[in-house]
Structure 1
Amino acid sequence: MTLASTGTVIEVETRAGRVRGAWRGTPGEGGASAAFLGIPFAEPPVGDLRFAAPMPKRPWEGTLDALEYAPTAQRGDPGVTLIPEPSIPGDSTLNVNVFTPAPGKTTALPVLVYIHGGGYFAGSPASPWYDGAAFNRDGVVTVSISYRLGFDGFGWIEDAPLNRGVLDWMLALEWVRDNIAAFGGDPARVTIAGQSAGGGAVLTLLGMPAAQPLFEAVYCISGAAADVSVDEAEAFGRRLAEAGGVTPDRAGLSSLSEERVLELQKQLTAPAEGGNPLDGLRQFVDGGLTLGPVIDGDLVPLKTVDAIRSGIGADKPLVLGATDDEFSMILSEAKDKLRWIPSRYLLGKVGLTGKARSAYVAANRTVAKKGTAAIVGRYLTDRMFRTLALRIIHARGEAPTWLYRFSWTSPTFGMAVHCIDVPFFFDCLAADKVDAIAGDHPPQSLADAVHAGAVNFITTGDPGWPRYTAASGETRVYDDPSTVIRDGYAEVASLLPS
């Protein structure tokens, strides 16, 4: 659901100054909401601020137009995912987009803050899929945020703060705390949500003591944790500086243009030319992401699962889950060639051997019957996403947690691929390029179910199906129709540490 602007403007006073947004729909009529796009929460991260902690936006005079999306940290391409996430040039890349049915009113509506994905090096909050119109219709103020990506956001630099992208998330959430009441939202009822790297972001925040006062609940869609060690981050930072011919400090790296840093980042994270692609897949699965939140022992004190096991965030309700075949499409183009290679051999090449391999194949017989590409793709999905969901749940113990899986099959890809659940979450099936991933007739009933569960959770702290317990493993399965089953992730159990 996305509404076109009517041209009717509305102004709201923030702490830094007045902003002008636009109504979509007729004010006062059902479903109408206002969009305030590209409100800066920080000074542009350029010049002396390029590799610094974000600086809160200084007050401005007059009224700031918030009628178009602002510059994005993503540069030069539309991103790496199936979600349309445009790149917008410009320096002022740290912004929030606010969608609200009640601007300027003291309605204290619940708030959703959404963090986009893109592997921590791509993605954009300017996607039409992240429009909050449907959430506004259902009484939820919605905010999407930007943050520095790739090396600028997460790279190690000798004399710069680590986790600059994480600090951006924190400052954006502080902006919401300080300003959202002016848009009709309740700063004490904030749910953070994100997909893929954005899902990893909200799990990172859930495990950060400093972030706890800034939100009350978490909704994690296909979350992927980075958990980069300081040693790994430093090694990559020194390699990038050496490749650029500069010293690994702010002075040296600031002498490189943004374009050059992006070029070096791409070169150093690309698979080796001529190498075995299976070795690259195994390295990706075992080693994880090169750039992302760094376990610095301070702001991010522990690895994601360890932080949650320690009890951090245990008072926060959590919904999490994944699609059935997040990364299976990686092997789709090669499925005809792979059909001649025994699946057990190929699973061994990507790290699954012995009794664990036998147990996994036995638990996934239905998938294995579809061929080698299907079972190896499912294994990659499970290693990256579904095992993490189970590990998080087990680490939380009795903390209030709900598990789901998204199983509806894309008619385009023949599986429940990465990103397919996002337009159902936002109930925006008519948005641009949804048909490319969900076909011409995606089921509205499924969007109604996924979106309603999210609204229930944001509004009440309960999505509407039973909590996960070790005894029952109850899992919401989003399909057409949707159901609740026991042990919804049973096929993944053999991959967990015994």
Structure 2
Amino acid sequence: MYAAPAPAPSWDGVREATELGTTAAQPPYEPPFDQLLLNPIDLGPGFLNLNVWTPDAAGSGLPVMVWLHGGAFRNGSNASPVYDGTAFARDGVVLVSANYRLGVQGFGVVEGAPSNRGLLDQLAALTWVQENIAAFGGDPSRVTVFGQSAGGMSVATLMSMPAAKGLFQRAIVQSGSAEAVALASDAALVVAEVAKRLDVPVSAEALGAVATHDLLAAQRAVALELRQNPDPVRWGPSMIRGGGGIMPFFPVIDGELIHERPLDALAAGAARDVELLTGTTTEEFRLFTVPTGVAAAITPEALPLLVARAGLDPAAAGPYAANRPGQSPGEILTALTGDAFFTLPTIRLAEAQLAAGAAAYMYEFSWRSPVPGLGACHALELPFVFDTLTPSPLSGPEPPQELADRMHAAWVSFATTGSPGWSQYDTSSRPVMTFDHPDSRQLQNPHGDELALLGLDTGH
């Protein structure tokens, strides 16, 4: 369980491959997220599997898209119905979705095991695509890797890694960043706490002998403690900086697979030959603060203290509040935090690619869910990208199909031509395509006044 991935054993004859495979070991989402996010769990061997959708009359030379799911590096799989690739295949794209190891098994720093095992799994999937996708009609020289949240962070990290060079030509980062990486020494503190609760050494042999149920229970308890007390002294400053104290697992700078912060490697040209599409939802953090009741509990007196605790200037709260008349202190904090942990890192990722001479495009998903309080929250765009709309706890009973048509078509266009259909990003006019309903349109420098308060040089 803690070794590097290896090719699957060969077989003779025809292997039945018409059902979804098992999923990586993971706990269920905590309430209320277990009611908001579809996350089927089917534990068992062979979970490092791929799903492939290809057009009925595939031919050859088709563009390929490889999907890496999100879930904070501890949840998620390629089995979610939201990630069904039928619409991509319908529109001439070979769609591949991959599983990877999660939590301690995928990203824990463990003695006697390679670090970043989840990323090694992703590399193995991309290598499989290079070696096998032509048999499904795909062109291995036209691969777009894309992902959301932890999957988006994975994509940005893969872009920066020498080991991933040549495995894809285009990349889409949805609600991710190239800054979500921890020092191995900091990440080791989380795993040490898990091992302490299990009363075992932090080694591949000892952790590998622990029952999956017990490992997940200890991992879940440590994640909850980290979220309740995100102390950088206890958990390591790079762990808190990377995810605001809500994520216990990250890719780590180990000196072998990852040598520096991905953003720095990208600015130096690590992915200068990779075309990029990246963006966020408008109100990312509402998913984390509104359904949980956190936003409602924040008082006006606590707001500046919590803004400062997040590493932001408390003075920014005033202009944010002025731009949002009638919103509560918790909603103001949510907007600030969302920009700090999602919007700014996304812009920095695009700017790093620009500095290296690569093409970059930016989008913002602005449609607001009819579900009270959610707004344009984290993960809301996923069924629109995949064109898998159904009534859901996130998008409500009647999500607009016209918006899915536009957004899905843009992703297909980018994978096929290298352009999603709007202007390339630049640091002067900062064009961003905003996806909304009934209208989607390109805006120049959206939210520039607020982003300047958080330290972005918007040129105004």
Question: Is TM (by shorter chain) over 0.5?
Answer: yes
Which shows bigger deviation, 69-78 or 132-141? 69-78
- Give per-residue Cα distances to partners, 1:335-368, cap 9 Å, x unaligned: 4543554644542344333xxx334642563236
- C-alpha deviation, 1:284, in angstroms: 7.6
TM-score, L = length of structure 1 = 0.83
Q: Does 1:60 align with 2:20?
A: no
- C-alpha deviation, 1:204, in angstroms: 0.6
- Give per-residue Cα distances to partners, 1:415-440, cap 9 Å, x unaligned: 1011110011011113xxx4321122
d(CA) in 2 for partners of 1:142 and 1:252? 38
Report the CA distance shift for 1:482/1:178 in structure 2 as closer, same or farther (over 3 A).
same
d(CA) in 2 for partners of 1:272 and 1:295? 21
- C-alpha deviation, 1:390, in angstroms: 1.2
Q: Does 1:189 align with 2:142?
A: yes
What residue in structure 2 maps to residue 157 of structure 1? 110
- Give per-residue Cα distances to partners, 1:197-247, cap 9 Å, x unaligned: 001011011111110211010011111453011111223333332332222
- C-alpha deviation, 1:384, in angstroms: 1.5
- C-alpha deviation, 1:173, in angstroms: 0.6
What residue in structure 2 maps to residue 71 of structure 1? 22
d(CA) in 2 for partners of 1:276 and 1:287? 5
d(CA) in 2 for partners of 1:327 and 1:214? 32
Give, as a single letter, the amino acid of the residue that structure 2 aligns with 1:421.
E
Q: Does 1:472 align with 2:425?
A: no
Give, as a single letter, the amino acid of the residue that structure 1 aligns with 2:426.
T
Report the CA distance shift for 1:123/1:347 in structure 2 as closer, same or farther (over 3 A).
same
d(CA) in 1 for partners of 2:240 and 2:137? 48
- Give per-residue Cα distances to partners, 1:142-187, cap 9 Å, x unaligned: 0100000000011111111111111100001111111111111111
Task: Decide which of 323, 343, 355 is 1:366's aligned counterpart.
Answer: 323
d(CA) in 2 for partners of 1:477 and 1:174? 34
Q: Could you tell me whether the CA contact under 8 Å between 2:182 and 2:242 is conserved in 1?
A: no
What residue in structure 2 maps to residue 429 of structure 1? 389
- C-alpha deviation, 1:75, in angstroms: 3.8
Report the CA distance shift for 1:360/1:457 in structure 2 as closer, same or farther (over 3 A).
farther
d(CA) in 2 for partners of 1:130 and 1:473? 30
Report the CA distance shift for 1:437/1:286 in structure 2 as closer, same or farther (over 3 A).
closer
Report the CA distance shift for 1:363/1:315 in structure 2 as closer, same or farther (over 3 A).
farther
What residue in structure 1 maps to residue 298 of structure 2? 338
Counting matched residue pairs gives 441
d(CA) in 1 for partners of 2:109 and 2:230? 29
Which shows bigger deviation, 213-222 or 286-295? 286-295
d(CA) in 2 for partners of 1:283 and 1:190? 32
TM-score, L = length of structure 2 = 0.89
Task: Decide which of 81, 97, 100 is 1:128's aligned counterpart.
Answer: 81
Which shows bigger deviation, 114-123 or 85-94? 85-94
Which shows bigger deviation, 254-263 or 266-275? 266-275
Considering fraction of residues, name the structure with more strand. Answer: 1
Give, as a single letter, the amino acid of the residue that structure 2 aligns with 1:164.
R
- C-alpha deviation, 1:392, in angstroms: 1.0
Q: Does 1:170 align with 2:123?
A: yes
- C-alpha deviation, 1:286, in angstroms: 4.3
Alignment of 1:36-435 (within 5 A): 50-75=1-26, 77=28, 80=33, 82-102=36-56, 105-224=58-177, 225-271=179-225, 285-286=243-244, 289-332=247-290, 333-338=293-298, 341=301, 343-353=303-313, 357-359=314-316, 361-362=318-319, 365-367=322-324, 369-396=326-353, 397=355, 398-414=357-373, 415-430=375-390, 434-435=391-392
- C-alpha deviation, 1:464, in angstroms: 0.6
What residue in structure 1 maps to residue 445 of structure 2? 487
d(CA) in 1 for partners of 2:363 and 2:201? 47
d(CA) in 1 for partners of 2:369 and 2:166? 39
d(CA) in 2 for partners of 1:323 and 1:254? 38
Match of 1:404, SS state, is: strand
- Give per-residue Cα distances to partners, 1:54-85, cap 9 Å, x unaligned: 01111112211111111100445368573312
Give, as a single letter, the amino acid of the residue that structure 1 aligns with 2:285.
F
- Give per-residue Cα distances to partners, 1:5-56, cap 9 Å, x unaligned: xxxxxxxxxxxxxxxxxxxxxxxxxxxxxxxxxxxxxxxxxxxxx1100011
Report the CA distance shift for 1:90/1:394 in structure 2 as closer, same or farther (over 3 A).
same
d(CA) in 1 for partners of 2:343 and 2:10? 44
Q: Could you tell me whether the CA contact under 8 Å between 2:299 and 2:330 is conserved in 1?
A: yes
- Give per-residue Cα distances to partners, 1:271-306, cap 9 Å, x unaligned: 3698699x9998785457331211112212221211
Q: Could you tell me whether the CA contact under 8 Å between 1:158 and 1:250 is conserved in 2?
A: yes
Matched residues, percent identical? 37
d(CA) in 1 for partners of 2:312 and 2:130? 46
d(CA) in 2 for partners of 1:289 and 1:443? 32
Q: Could you tell me whether the CA contact under 8 Å between 2:175 and 2:280 is conserved in 1?
A: yes
Q: Could you tell me whether the CA contact under 8 Å between 2:243 and 2:341 is conserved in 1?
A: yes
Which shows bigger deviation, 291-300 or 449-458? 291-300
Q: Could you tell me whether the CA contact under 8 Å between 2:61 and 2:138 is conserved in 1?
A: yes
Q: CA RMSD in A?
A: 2.6
- C-alpha deviation, 1:320, in angstroms: 0.5
Report the CA distance shift for 1:410/1:57 in structure 2 as closer, same or farther (over 3 A).
same
Alignment of 1:447-466 (within 5 A): 447-466=404-423
Give, as a single letter, the amino acid of the residue that structure 1 aligns with 2:279.
G
